[in-house]
Amino acid sequence: MRAIIIALGGNAIDRTRSLNGPNERIGYKKIKDMARMFKDDQVNIALTHGNGPQVGNELIRNEYSNSIVPGHPLYLINAITQATIGAEIEENLRSGLLESGSGREVETIITHVIVDKMKVRERPTKQIGPFYHKDDMDWKSKNRKEYVRQGDYYRRVVPSPKPVSIVEIEAIRTLFEKGDVVISCGGGGIPVYRKGTGYIGAEGVIDKDLATQVLATSLDAERMIILTDKEYVYNDFPKYEKPIKKIRVGEIKRRIRGFEEGTMKPKIEACVSFLEKGGKEAVIGSMSCAESVMEGLSGTRITR
């Protein structure tokens, strides 16, 4: 049976980058429309999702409410967004599958991902939260080192420890091989590291694309598809004029330093790692063209 892992970008879901819940649900409506692609029960499907805008928004809420109620550490904020985004995705997928006549089940698994403890304190690279225009930045109250510039905008960055393995992988595998659509590793998973016989939460946000690769490799998937807000990978970032439609893994690996840290670069790193560890094809494309990406008619295809 064919196995496909699909990563849904947090920015692609929340195109408005708004704190307004109803606006955010416009993005989830796209997921309901995607459900018809999952009718074929001869293809095992697992989904992951990002949480870049949402975890940043939740972090702001925690920081502003700290004087009234105790806030949560970042790893638990990731757990909160994993649950809320996963619930929205599951509800929309279930509805879409029922409307299309499919009886496939959908499950969301709150996932812990083991990271390298030594990597937790590395330079922050993961972009989260809203975009701030340079004219609106208050440098007196914000630490310049916690923000990265994108043109006229700035965005907060936090540590992004590399994923090593998935704690709940056997539970995910059981449901996946049963034929259910499994949603896991949301926002890259809750980062934890081993301590004795247990686990300790690590401050940071795991890149969901790198976690998706760990999941895809663990489930022996043939294809890994990363859906984002760009139709292709481009040769000339940030102009976005020269799309790469098909490329071999060795060639894109040689170009990897030219891609943006914290956004496109980890997507390409995830694809390279997936193919080098046995995957057959990795695709990066637009969530708005998801069906075309699934059919191989759109997106950047990376092969061995």
Identify whether 208 is a catalytic site residue.
yes
Active-site option among 9, 11, 56, 57: 11
The single residue listed with the structure tokens 């757990």 is 79
Identify whether 29 is a catalytic site residue.
no
Active-site option among 56, 267, 279, 299: 267
Identify whether 195 is a catalytic site residue.
no
Write the DSSP string, the chain: -EEEEEEEPHHHH-TT--S-HHHHHHHHHHHHHHGGGG--TTEEEEEEE--HHHHHHHHHHHHHHTTTS----HHHHHHHHHHHHHHHHHHHHHHHHHHTT----EEE---EEEE-GGGTTSPP-EEEEEEEEGGG--TTTS-GGGEEEETTEEEEEE--PPEEEETTHHHHHHHHHHT-EEE-SGGG-EEEEEETTEEEE-SS---HHHHHHHHHHHTT-SEEEEEESSSSEETTTTT--SEE-EEEHHHHHHTGGGSPTTTHHHHHHHHHHHHHTT-SEEEEEEGGGHHHHHTTSSSEEEE-
Strands 147-150 and 281-286: unpaired
CA distance 16 to 24: 7
Burial of 139 (0-12, 13-18, 19+ CB in 10 A): exposed
Active-site option among 208, 230, 265, 279: 208
Active-site option among 126, 162, 230, 265: 126
Identify whether 119 is a catalytic site residue.
no
Active-site residue set: 10-11, 126, 208, 267
